[in-house]
Every structure is written in C-alpha cells, then in structure tokens.
A and B are shown apart, each in its own frame.
Chain A
C-alpha cells in the first residue's frame, strides 16, 4: 500500500477521502443499468400500446393468477434483502457468510424463474403463447426480458461464488464485482415493481 501511495499520491488522497469512494467499474456498470432502463422503458411503452389488442384471444383477467404473481413478488423482495445481507457481510470481510447469503439469494432467484417458466409453459400449452395476440406478444416480450435478466443474474452469481471459493480473502476487485451484481439484482426488483403493477395488477382490473 505504501508503495502505491508513493506511486500515485492522488489515488492515496482519494482513499483517505472516504472508505466508500466508488470505483469507476461500478459507475460504468451504473451507466449500463441506465441504458437497460431505457430498454425496459421501450418494452413497457410497446406493452402500454398493445395491452388491449386481444385479437379475440384471452385478456389478462382470464390469464393471470394473482396468487402466483404475489408469490413471485415476495420471492424477489426476499432475494433483494438476502443479497443486501451478502453485501453487508462482504463489507465486514466475512466470506463464509457472503457465500451463504448468495446461495440463499440464488435459490430464491431460481425459484422465481421456475415459477415464471411454469406460468409461461402452461399459457403456451393452452394455446395462449406469444403468437396468439398482440397483447400476448407484448406480454411475453416484457416479462420474458425481465426473466432473462434474472437468469443472467443467477449465472453471474454462480460465477462469483465459484471465484470466491478457496482460502483467499475478498479482494478489492471481488468487492467491485459484488457491488455491480448488487446494483443489477436490486435494479431487476425495481423493474419487477413496474411489471406486477402495470402488467398483472392493471391487467386484471
């Protein structure tokens, strides 16, 4: 550390400025999330336009099972706070607990994806797939894109857990990776708020 300080006094000064100084990696990832915001905004806009175009097919009222949506919502909310606990343990450099909370978060995320796939497959089996009507095309695109993001988050989580295993301590680099996945995971929960409010709940009214 002393060596680094002599190499670049500015970086050292930054370190003193605050323990929480954000790495450029995390800021870069934040910028990516903002573009993801725009992506979801566009898909939501498409859904808003097409939400009443049933083409004689079923409406949301006939298709959506609010109990299932409620369970999915609860699972994602719990996974948000379990990831939060993983982040706090990472700050305390308690690697075992980080792995444990990440595993809990993974199980919750995987059951969310499982429930969603179950919902999709039963809808498709009844002939209400994305090809049935414009409403269903928009529905599958929007909810499917969110589900795909969650799936990517799960893969990322497994990769980080594998990288963390072994005797080494949590490196600064690993902390940044965990911070990025944290932003991603909590961001997906925010997208889900809009999904359950404007797709499911507004759809059954």
Chain B
C-alpha cells in the first residue's frame, strides 16, 4: 500500500502509511503524557507547566514532520524559512507580551 513508484529515500514530501502511523502513535503518546502530567497530580504546578511546555513543543515538531511533511530539503527551504520567521514572531509576541504585562502589573502593584 505504499507509494512505491514516487517514493525516494531522501525527499518523500508526501508521507506514506508508515510515516503517518508513526506520527499518530507519537502524537497519542505525547498527548496522553500531557494529560497524565496534570491529572495524576504527580508534579508540582510549576513542574507540570514545564512538562506541558516541553511535551507541546515536541508534539508540534512531530506534527510538522509527520503530518505537514516539513523537512530540510532544498525544495522546502522557503517554507522552512517562512516558518522560522513566523515562529520567531510568535515567540516575540507572546514572550514580550507576558514580560511587559507582568512588569506593568508589578509596577502598578495590581497583583
């Protein structure tokens, strides 16, 4: 059932049944780990939040590689570059917002 004629060793950007299934299993494991980290109350809130962040980032990478077929081939270099730019923008927006609003809240003594 694989896409034998068009599949190459290096740049199969369309995926295959095995790659989708591997991605799916990894995603399920990471999702269950996220829910378990919170629902078992085994970790302190700070540690649990850190665990959630790590698990979310890993799962995002899994989805990007196995479902969106992102890779470092030259054919995809523009996609990757745009993605990196967008990701940096998002990190600056979210990180900057949290930093500034937290600082404001401290200075205004509103919390």
Contact = CB atoms under 8 A, between A and B. Distances in A.
A-B complex is real: yes
Contacts, number: 126
A45 B3 CA distance: 42
Contacts of B111: 52
Given A77-B24, A80-B67, A34 B83 contact: yes
B56 A193 contact: yes
B94 interface: yes
B53 interface: yes
A20 B89 contact: no
Contacts of A120: none
B94 A22 contact: no
A37 B28 CA distance: 23
Contacts of A40: 90
A84 interface: yes
Interface residues of A, number: 48
Interface in B40-65: 45, 48-49, 52-53, 55-56, 59-60, 63-64
A49 B56 contact: no
Nearest to A45: B97
Contacts of B56: 193-194, 197-198
A41 B60 contact: no
